[in-house]
Amino acid sequence: MRDTDRSFIAGFLDADGSIYVRLKPNSDYRYDFQIVPVIVFFQKKEKVLILEHIKDLLNVGYLRFRRDGIVEYTIGDHKGLRKIINVVLKYAVLKKEQLILMEAILSYKGSVKTANDFLILAKMIDKFEDLNYSKKRSVKSQQVKSRLIDKGLL
Q: Which residues bind a copy of itself (CB under 8 A)?
A: 3-17, 41, 43-44, 46-47, 49-50, 53, 91, 93-94, 133
Q: Which is nearer to a copy of itself, 55 or 109 (CB)?
A: 55
- Measured from the CB of residue 133, what is the shortest distance to a copy of itself in angstroms? 4
Q: 110 Cβ partners below 8 Å, 6+ apart?
A: none
Q: How far is the CB of 4 from a copy of itself (least distance, A)?
A: 4
Identify whether the C-beta of residue 58 lies closer than 8 Å to the C-beta of residue 88: no
Shortest distance, CB of residue 13 to a copy of itself, whole angstroms?
8
**CB closer to a copy of itself, 13 vs 39:** 13
CB 15 to a copy of itself: min, Å:
4
In the bound state with a copy of itself, the residue whose beta carbon lies nearer, of 8 and 72, is 8
